[in-house]
Structure 1
Amino acid sequence: MSRPRLPIGTWGTISSHKDPSGSWRSSAYFRDFNGSSRRVRASGPSASAAERHLTAKLVEGARIGSGELKPTTPLATTAEMWLAEVEGTVGDGTLDEYKRLARKRIIPAIGELMLGEVTVGVVDRFLRAESLRTPAQARNVRSALLHIMAVALRHDAIRLNPVRESAPLPKVHKTPEALTETEVVELRDMVRLHRAGPGRSGPPPGVDLMDFVDLTLATGTRIGEALGLRWQDINLDVEPVLVTIAGTLVEATGVPVHYKNSPKTASGFRTLSLPDHAAAILKRRRASAKSEWVFATKAGAPRAPQNIHRTFREIVKDTELQWVTPHVLRKTVATRIARLFGDEAAAKQLGHSGPEVTRRHYIQKASIAPDVSETLSLMFLEPMS
């Protein structure tokens, strides 16, 4: 009966002997990751030292496997390999976010560690610190680290992904905030008066931001979708006027703002009917348009989303509406439609694949008061004094 083969990545009995020079040599057969067995040797001044050296080599061989990465490879190197792998497979904005998470959050904290040192405990401590620092971002950091360690796992540099085994992060429940009708009026007044008062610096106010706010409140589009509108996407000759969301503007580090010929998601490709006031805005702008873009710079290029964000921050700073961002306009539209027509209609307007995302992140729900109806009804049963 033949001797059973060693399992992949394991070794047999270690034998040691003393050679004529006085050194000790230890050896054992190691079953390699290609299925073959090979003898591994090590030496030392004593039998125990030689066996220790050999065991270290065998453990290293078992952990390295046949991958390009090793347990001694720094985590930072693996992170850069992951970024190189995903480049070209995700959008520029997503790649920018991955780079930010890897280079600003993960590498400065644990990038010097070797892959073999990134244990479940190390990951747990790191993610707990991230959760205390920025709870809303910690889950994104965890996701990025999970992908980085998955690269190490594929290269046989580690035996399990420590991020997958780490404790789950606490969920951050952020209630969607939407503008009330009164706040919409206040915000529009603030936008209209921006840089118009005495002592204000900067160029005279234009109509671009006001039109952007009104058009977003009439459509619920993402900022990149609104600023990426082209005249070819709009049919002004029908009633109601129709706008097709066929793409979006993309911002990425080191790359000029550019148009992506598809929305953020497949369900984002949609056609919206405009109310009369929004149609009037587009007709006015079309009459003086000198560019293919609805919102164009003087040079004819599309306006950058970051400029709209910056101006918004200037307008709402130190006011009761300082929590408002352009994205809040989108949530306001979702909340309004959901209350009148239901969550499904809101999801379709916003370009979501289903109402669950819309319901969780975009629709502001009224708080539920405790049921005290029975107590209150007693007032009508007891004699009034």
Structure 2
Amino acid sequence: MSRVRLTKTLVDEMPPPEKGQSFIWDTDVPGLAVRLTPTGAKAWVVQMRVRGGKERRMTIGYCNKVPLDMARKEARKVIATADLGRDPAQERKEAREVKPDTNPLFGEFAERWLTEVAGRRNRPGTLKNRRLLLKNHILPILAQKRLTDIQRRDIEDLHHRVSQKFPVAANRAVSLCSAIFSAAERWGMLTENPATKIERNSEEGRERYLTPEEIGRLQQALDQSQAQDSADVVRLLLLTGARVGEVLAMQWEHLNLDAGVWVKPAATTKQNKLHRVPLSAEAVAVLDKRRQQQADARRRATAPAGWVFPGDGANGHMTTIRTFWAAVCRRAGIDGVRVHDVRHTFASLLVSSGESLPVVGALLGHTQAKTTSRYAHLLDSALRGAADRVAILTKPKNEQV
């Protein structure tokens, strides 16, 4: 039994045996060896003594796929497990023999997760995005693997592969995998989530706010547009800071224009929580005008029931203003602004005018303070003004103007 300190170069240069198998054992980690076969295959194996004195030998992985340092780390873990009285080799064998319904293919379990977990918690738009992420980036790599066969290295390889073209999508793919594996862990199919502790690509937060001049040009373009339904959506986005999906799904029964209140149902909000929003007089005016127009169209004086922005689709209401937004921005000479940036603009105007972050968060429907903290840097001008006022008040009376 030959023993040497294994190195990558040494392993790469080892010649295969003419027949049978040969083993070269590591001096750094007793129990770790390289197994060579006549075909040239080289694999890391670990030998241990389990309860009862029996010796077990277990394959860790092929040398061209598992680096030496990882093999040593895994060998130490396996040997330590055996020292605690367990049988890692037998446990692996039993895991492979688990029935498919308790150790399903990742693709099958992901579909179940979409139905039983995401389908209950996520909005249709979020669910659609998650299906696309699975279809385009995750399932082509993991669909045919059993849950218990997927290791952290598999998720790291997936992240690296997707990162070549889509670095942000790679991060989202890992997060989605983690959510799916968490469910498998809760349901007793896994003992560990392999998608945790994966290093992500750095992401720069995107901040784009409309300037007062741009807001003026945008309002002028909205007034000149022939598509006033879509124009009213944008007006309400500017006046409420709501998400575009929330405005498009707005119903008259959720509005009390006399009190100036909009109660967003939990089903329409990102946080899946009811959100009560006070409406400004300008927002009420936009909505009241729409109510009168809809009432006139129906030839009745009572306020119309149903959607504030009705549409011809299956949902019964408008579902997008993407084309309109692109057109109105071109007309207003505004570049690089997404419709969601209108929400950021609403928040920036509040913060710059001196409103506190908790108030801004409450108006936007944020459930966590850290979500609103992205606007903290905009407090500088308001805080500087407050500090200047204090400085004036603390001057000696003979110096005060």
TM-score bin (small chain): 0.5 to 0.7
Distance apart, 1:352 and its partner CA: 1.3
SS of corresponding position for 1:281: helix
Residue aligning to 2:253? 232
The separation in 2 between residues aligned to 1:150 and 1:117, in whole angstroms, is: 15
Q: Deviations over 1:128-172 (max 9, x none)?
A: 2333433333332112111333455567665533212x4321341
Instruction: Structure 1: give runs of 5+ residues left out of the alignment.
Output: 1-9, 16-54, 195-204, 249-259, 369-385
Task: Return the offset for 1:173.
Answer: 2.8
**2:324 corresponds to which residue?**
311
Match of residue 69 from structure 1: 102
Cα distance, 1:62–1:235 mapped onto 2, change above 3 Å = closer
Normalised to the residue count of structure 1, the TM-score between the two structures is 0.63
Equivalent pairs counted in the alignment come to 289
Shift of 1:107: 0.2
Contact 2:351 2:379 in 1 (8 A): no
Q: Separation in 2 of the partners of 1:175 and 1:90?
A: 27
Distance 1:62 1:230 in 2: 52
Partner of 2:200: 169
Q: Within 1, Cα distance between the matches of 2:91 and 2:261? A: 65
Match in the other structure for 2:270 = 264
- Render the CA deviation track for 1:49-107: whole Å, top value 9, x for unaligned: xxxxxx9877421555678334xx53322322322331543134233333222222200
**Residues 249-274 of structure 1, C-alpha deviations (whole Å, 9 max, x = no match):** xxxxxxxxxxx4x6333665113131
C-alpha change, 1:68 and 1:216, in structure 2 (3 Å) is: same
- AA at the equivalent of 1:330: R
Greater per-residue helix proportion: 2
Match of 1:60 in 2: 93
**SS of the counterpart of 1:270?**
strand
Aligned to 2:367: 353
Change (3 A) 1:233 1:81: closer
Classify the secondary structure of the residue corresponding to 2:366: coil
Distance in 1 of aligned mates of 2:360 and 2:148: 48
Match of 2:283 in 1: 278
CA contact (8 A) 1:177 1:328 kept: yes
Q: Which amino acid aligns with 2:271?
A: T
Q: Which residue of 2 aligns with 1:247?
A: 265
Distance of 1:109 and 1:322 partners within structure 2: 38
Secondary structure of the corresponding residue to residue 358 of structure 2:
helix
Structure 1 vs Structure 2 CA RMSD: 3.6
Per the alignment, residue 232 of structure 2 pairs with 211
Residue 220 of structure 1 pairs with residue 220 of structure 2: no
2: distance between equivalents of 1:74 and 1:299?
Answer: 36
CA contact (8 A) 1:64 1:158 kept: no
How far apart in 2 are the matches of 1:367 and 1:134?
A: 35
Q: Distance in 2 between matches of 1:98 and 1:81?
A: 13
Moved over 6 A (4+): 55-58, 298-301
| In structure 1, distance between residues paired with 2:163 and 2:236 | 37
Q: What CA distance in whole angstroms lies between the structure 2 residues aligned with 1:192 and 1:301?
A: 27
Partner Cα separation in structure 1 for residue 332 and residue 258 of structure 2 = 41
Q: Secondary structure at the match of 1:245?
A: strand
Distance between the aligned counterparts of 1:210 and 1:95, measured in 2? Answer: 28
Alignment equivalent of 1:288, drawn from 289, 293, 298: 293
2:339 alignment counterpart: 326
Alignment-derived partner of residue 51 in structure 1: none
In the TM superposition, residue 175 of structure 1 has moved relative to its aligned partner by 3.8
The residue number in structure 1 matching 2:139 is 107
State the Cα distance separating 1:344 from its structure 2 match: 1.7
Contact 1:243 1:272 in 2 (8 A): yes
Corresponding residue SS for 1:271: strand
Q: Distance in 2 between matches of 1:283 and 1:363?
A: 34
Alpha-carbon spacing, 1:129–1:315, altered in 2? closer, same or farther (3 Å):
farther
CA distance in 1, matches of 2:140, 2:365: 37
Provide Cα deviations, 1:320-339, integer angstroms capped at 9, x if missing partner.
63422221111111110111
What code does the residue aligned with 1:108 have?
P
- Are 2:181 and 1:149 aligned? yes
Q: Is contact 2:151-2:194 (8 Å) kept?
A: yes
* Residues 1:143 and 1:157: Cα distance change in structure 2 (over 3 Å): same
Q: Would you say the 8 A contact 2:236–2:283 is kept in 1?
A: yes
The percent of aligned pairs where both chains have the same amino acid is 24
Name which structure has the greater RCO, CA cutoff 8 Å, separation 6+. 1
Give the residue type in structure 1 aligned to 2:346: V
Deviation of 1:127 after TM superposition, in Å, equals 1.0
Counterpart of 2:201, as a letter, is P
Give the partner amino acid of 1:182: E
